[in-house]
Amino acid sequence: MVQFPQDRGHDRAPGGAADHEPQGPAGEPIGTLSVAELLSVADEPLLAGRSADPDRIARAQLDEALLQLREYFEGTRTKFDIALDWYGVNGLRLTVLKLLAEVPFGETVTYGDLAKGSGAGVTASQAVGGIMGSNPLPIVVPCHRVLAADGLGGFGGGLRTKEWLLAWEGVMPPALDWGL
């Protein structure tokens, strides 16, 4: 298990220490992720607790993915180098997720940026939001780095988790201006 990185000024997980009881192979400060799920793309988001078939994935791949996740949460890795199984992902969803996978650590993009970069045009921003909501590879394909034009936007793992991940990466999302 990866210890919570206290050297970055965080003293507990987004849900609080009592809410964080790792139960899987990659217990991380934002909750539990199954490495098998990270490597086998399903049609449903992984943070919702769905499981992939770990028998499809070679043990060496699982070990490497776990190592890279540990390094990310220890602060020694900023880019994942994991062979991803994109089986069953196609069309605009595949294009957008592959673009997103290239967004560097510590940087953000907007839903509109991804829509425009995918060739679908900025009018497809809502479609991109839907794709982010069904991202089967959170953290590795960093949907937490996607912001709304007017602020944080949503996140399937919860806004506190998104805020934690962005702070971990040194990114301060733009403040909302409510005209107050």
Task: Break the chain into its structural domains and give their ranges.
Answer: 6-74, 91-168
Rounded Cα–Cα distance for residues 20 and 91 (Å): 36
State in words which class domain 91-168 has: mainly alpha
Choose, from 99, 143, 147, 152, the residue flagged as catalytic: 143
pLDDT at 160: 87
- Tokens representing residue 20 in the block: 């964080």
Closest alpha carbon to 37 in 132, 139, 131? 139
- What digits encode the pLDDT tens for the residues 122-164? 688 999 999 999 888 889 999 999 999 988 999 988 888 898 8
Say how far apart CA 29 and CA 125 lie, in whole Å: 30
pTM, to two decimals:
0.69
Output 66 or 100, whichever has higher pLDDT.
100
- Residue 157 CA to residue 161 CA, distance in Å, equals 6
Q: Give the N- to C-terminal CA distance of the chain in Å, as an integer.
A: 44
Give the pair of three-digit tokens for residue 153. 């936007």
Q: Convert the pLDDT of each residue in 6-23 to its tens digit.
A: 333 333 334 433 333 333
pLDDT at 81 over 70: yes
Residue 178: its pLDDT value, please?
Answer: 53
18: which residues sit within 8 A by CB, 6+ positions away?
none
Calculate what percentage of the chain has a pLDDT beyond 90.
36
Arithmetic mean of pLDDT, 171-175: 66
Distance CA 75, CA 168 (A): 8
d(CA 74, CA 2): 7
* Catalytic-residue membership of 125: no
